Structures are given as structure tokens and as C-alpha cells.
Amino acid sequence: MDISYSEALVVGGGLAGLRAAIELKERGIDVVLISIVPPLRSHSSAAMGGVQAALASSFMGASDSPCLHYQDTINGGAGIADPAVVDYFCHSVIDSVYQLDSWGVPWTRVSAGERILSDGRMIVEKKDNHGKITARNFGGTAQWRTCYCSDSTGHNLMRAHLRRSAAVGLPIVDRMQALSLIMSDNTCEGVTALDLRTGKIKLFQSKATLLATGGYGRLFEYSTNGSICNGAGQALVLSISGGTLSNMEAVQFHPTALMPSSVLITEGCRGDGGYLYNNKMERFMLKYAPEAKELASRDVISRSMILEERLGNACQGDSGSHFWLDIRHLGREHISTHLREVAENAFCFAGVDPVHDLIPVYPAQHYTMGGIRTDKSLSTEKYGISGLFAAGEAACWDLHGFNRLGGNSLGETIVAGEFAAVTMSDYIQKKGSRLSVSAADDEFGKQSERLLRLEKQSGKPGLSYVSIISSVQSLMSRYAGVFRNEEGLNTARLELNRLLEQEPDAAIAGSFSATSPETTAALECRGMVKLALAVVGCALKRKESRGCHNRDDYPEMSEEFCKRTLCRWNSISESIEIDYEDISPQG
């Protein structure tokens, strides 16, 4: 039995996990980071637009402040965001951006001379601003505050974190698929993981464990998320007695996903002045959001697109319905400088050149505001599990409420990752040195039996794990998308329960290999079905429309549901249990 011992364990190699692990290492904590993929392949690298931080260092953001950032975030969250968390974030993210600057992140800077805005206004940047970190406009904000690195911000932040990781000597073990939490008396003492190189199970025992495994976007067929965003961390917690998830129905859809691939087209396109057109070449957002127009929040634009489609105003192509995004008027120089990845993706995945052509876009799942419920310190102890922490998209400490503002997610990974490390350090100092040998042995045995069962059932005719996951994704996109209703959600719930019942009899279609992608899918399958049931169950019970959660049959926001959703898995009834938690006032 292969066991690794450390004071702290971080599961997930994206920005939240890396930032936490770096901070732990710098604090003298013995820490190990494991990741299912090499860190640069984590989904954080795909983030394009930027980081919201009230630097007030550009002409159009000169009046910005953390208070305005706070108000925008609270308003965007539709009454559900935690005021104390939002306040902490909006003040802390400013220092985080300057720290990243010192780590070598190549932020785009304020340049000299005149700038022409998309509405025809001309601004002249002040001379004393030249060279400072600049900002672009994003939806739902009162000021220009989104700091960026052209349209590859996440990639640049990841590279800076990997350089820092190397400098502090952070141990990173990739190709490790977390299988289960090691639990001893409601205390998490690490994880079991499958080594995807050797096919062997390895144990990582620790005093404190951080889950930074990302969101659950790949429960949906049409998503901007990478294939690893399947809710692995949330599924681990849901499998534990008393493990609590929160706001699982809060799923954000991005209005400008490239058709037909669902590759993200950054909000920066609209922030820099892009337009949206329907099949009549009308800027339809003038009708739905006459003041904000194309810079309304993501939930507003996504809803508007579906409503336009219902009116028969969507464009029709070989790959289905879409709308047009137009950035041609921004010019070749701007596109090749500030939106170069957009241009490359549009050409590679849709065969269009945005310098000359319109870009076909349509809403696709983009971000999950729900996740592992933590308190403000990013600990799960208040919710039943000691020694376990969560950060980034894996967590719900409720920064975003029921709609995330663009640019707040990258900032959250850095702020929350650092803060989680601080609270983990405090926990480690208080915890004794003993770790349960029997708990680790028991969990190793369970996971070994799990792999053995998969091997025995491989090649059996009938339902495959891959087909179950495909059915889940289809059901979720069809019935739990931008608009939902009771009939559709009930249909999804019945079908998901049927898939859950069939899962024990499913098999790997080909010959068994512990390192194959099909085995990875088999190990993820049941957890994904349970997470889908959590999303659907929470959406059914919330009989209102709020932020990104839109019910055709309950179109109004209800004061009754101005609460945080909590859900747990009942292993006896094999069903989701749901209740609610009041939103605490600030302070």
C-alpha cells in the first residue's frame, strides 16, 4: 500500500489550488498538491477576460472603489451573495492583483494618446496613468475595473503561479484521480487516488485537505468547460454522511459560446465594444436592456437570446440556432492585440475571421455558483466535516450568489486560495499529529474492491458508463438550461433516478485498463448522476426566478426563497435532501 503523509493536501492544480499550496509552502507547512492533469491543463488556463479589482488606474475607472465593486457583486448575486464574503473579496483582490504583478503577470497597461470607444466617444488617458494596469468594461459593473492580459488572462496567471511553485519547491503530483475522502470520526484525513500512469491506488494522508477541483459544468452537453470539470470534489463530499453542498441550482450560462463547439468567446469582446444581432440584424439587447445593452449581466443576455429565439428571431445554420456577435468595427489591430485568442478560436472552430466576418454564438453552460458549502473561512467544519476546506469553483462560500459577474471568478481563485491556506495553517497548528491508520486501510480496501468490480464487469454487453454520462448531459441541457419548468425538471429527475438504478449494472465496453479514459468515466459516473439529481432537485424546490435560475412557471422573484439552498445525500433512500439557510447580514 503506497501512502504519502503531509501536514496539508491540496487536491486540484488550477489557480485556487496552486495559490493555496504556494501560501502553505511559504508559511513553512509541509504540503503536497495532486491534480488529475498537469496544472497548465487545468481549466483556469481557459479563462480569458480578466480579474475585477477596483484599482481606479484608468480613465474609465477613475472613480472606482471597493464599495462600488461590492455593490455590483451584491446586485449581480440577486440577493443571495454573502455580504461579509463579498466585502472581504472586494478589498483583498486589489492587493492580489498587485502581488501577481510582482510575480510577473504581464497585465495590459494604460497607453498614451486617444482612445475611441464603441459608442463614438473619445477619451484621452492622463499622462500620470501611463504604464499603470488598465481595465476593460464588463457586464453588470458601474466602472471599468476588469484587469486583463489581452484575452489570455487565465493562461498568464497560471504560468506565473507555476513559476512561483517552482521557486518555493512545491511538490506537484499530477495524473492523480481522487477517488474518496479518508474519514475518521467526521474528520477528513486526506484522499485515496488512482495513479493514472500506473493504475495503482495511492493514499494521501494529511491533517488538512483542500478541495480545489473546479465546477460541475460537464453535467451539461453544451458547456464552455473542459472535460475535467465534472464536479469531482462536490461528488466526494456528497458521498460522505452529512456532506453539504449549496446553491446547486445556480448554474450560469454564458451568452457568447461559439457555435457549434461551445468554445468560449470572452465577454471582453462586448466589453471592448462588440454588438449582438438577431436574424434581422437588429441589436436586440437595445430592447431587453436599453441602458446596459450588450453589457447587461450574463443571465440577462442569455435569457434575452432564448426569448428572441422563441419569437423566431434566431439565426439558423447547419449546427442549429445562433445569434451574431460583431467585432469587425474594432479593427484588425485591436483584435490581433487584445482579442487574438478569440480570432484564433473563431477561425479554428467555426471557420470565420472576426476581422471580416460575424461570429455565430449561442448560450452554453459556463460556471457553477453552487458547490461545497463552507463558512467564510472556507472550512466545512460548520457543515459536518472537520479538516476539510474548499476554494474556487469547487466551493460555495457564496461570493457570487445566484449570478457571477464576469471577472470575479479569477479573482476569487487567488483571494480564496490564499485565505484557505491561512485558515488551514491555523487548523494544522491546533490539530494533533495522529492520523487514523485503520481509516486509511478501510478506504484503500473499498477502492480496491471498486476497481476489481469494474474489471470483472468489463466487456459485458449492455449499458456503458460513457452512455450514462452522455444521457445525463443531454437531460441537463434539455431540462435544466437557461429556462426551466416543473414538467421538464420532473422528467429529468425521473430519468436520472432510472440511470442511478441502472449504474451498478453498467460496464466498461472494452477490455479493462485502470489507466484508460473509460475507467476514469466509470469512476466518475455515479457521482455525476447524483450531482445532476442535486441540481434538478434544488431547481424544482426553488419555485421562483432569481439570477441565473429561471422558472417559466414561476417568473417572479419571491422573498420566501431569499435563502441559501443546502443539500445532502441520503444514502438510505438514495435521494437528495434539501433545506435552506438564511443569508447573514454583513458583520
Q: DSSP per residue over 17-84, as a string? A: HHHHHHHHHHTT--EEEE-SS-GGGSGGGG--S-EE-----SGGGTT--HHHHHHHHHHHTTT-S-HH
Q: How many CA atoms lie within 13 A of 111 on its CB side?
A: 7
Residue 239 pLDDT class (50, 70, 90 cuts): very high
3-class SS of residue 500 = helix
What is the predicted pLDDT for the residue at 396?
98
Residue 555 lies in a domain: yes
Residue 587 pLDDT class (50, 70, 90 cuts): very low
Q: What is the arithmetic mean of pLDDT over 188-201?
A: 97
Domain boundaries, position 269: 254-365
Looking at 335, 350, 365, the residue that finishes a domain is: 365
What is the predicted pLDDT for the residue at 317?
86
Q: Residue 99 belongs to what H/E stretch?
A: helix 83-102
542: Cα separation from own chain's centroid: 22
What is the predicted pLDDT for the residue at 544?
98
Contact of 299 with 76, CB cutoff 8 Å: no
Res. 107: pLDDT tops 50: yes
Identify whether 270 is a catalytic site residue.
yes
Res. 23: pLDDT tops 50: yes
Check whether residue 458 and residue 338 sit in a common domain: no
Residue 334 lies in a domain: yes
List pLDDT tens digits, range 431-448: 877 899 999 999 999 999
3-class SS of residue 176 = strand
List pLDDT tens digits, range 148-182: 998 899 999 999 999 999 999 999 999 999 999 99
Q: DSSP per residue over 103-136, as a string? A: TT----B--SSEEE-TTS-EEE--GGGTTSB--B
Contact of 499 with 536, CB cutoff 8 Å: no
Of the candidates 159, 254, 322, 404, the residue annotated as catalytic is: 254
Of the candidates 69, 155, 159, 270, the residue annotated as catalytic is: 270
Residue 467 lies in a domain: yes
* CA nearest neighbour of 532 among 494, 580, 570: 494
Identify whether 564 is a catalytic site residue.
no
Residue 273 dihedral angles phi and psi, to the nearest 5°: 120, 15
Residue 571 lies in a domain: yes
Q: What is the arithmetic mean of pLDDT over 11-20?
A: 98
Residue 73 lies in a domain: no
Residue 161 lies in a domain: no
Residue 191 lies in a domain: no
List pLDDT tens digits, range 264-318: 999 989 988 999 999 999 999 999 999 999 999 899 999 999 999 999 999 998 8
Check whether residue 361 and residue 447 sit in a common domain: no
The number of domains in the chain is 2
Res. 515: pLDDT tops 80: yes
**CATH number (domain holding residue 308):** 3.90.700.10
Q: What is the arithmetic mean of pLDDT over 214-228?
A: 96
List pLDDT tens digits, range 464-501: 999 999 999 999 999 999 999 999 999 999 999 999 99
**CATH number (domain holding residue 473):** 1.20.58.100
Looking at 324, 350, 365, the residue that finishes a domain is: 365
* CA nearest neighbour of 33 among 3, 57, 60, 13: 13
Pairing mode, strands 201-211 and 2-11: parallel
Average pLDDT, the chain: 94
Res. 257: pLDDT tops 70: yes
Check whether residue 459 and residue 568 sit in a common domain: yes
Q: What is the arithmetic mean of pLDDT over 543-557?
A: 97
List pLDDT tens digits, range 37-94: 999 999 999 998 899 999 998 888 899 999 999 999 999 999 999 999 999 999 999 9
Res. 116: pLDDT tops 80: no
Residue 217 lies in a domain: no
User: Hunting for cell 428571431 — which residue is that?
Assistant: 313
Check whether residue 478 and residue 348 sit in a common domain: no
Residue 363 dihedral angles phi and psi, to the nearest 5°: -60, 140
Helices (H), 351-436: 408-430
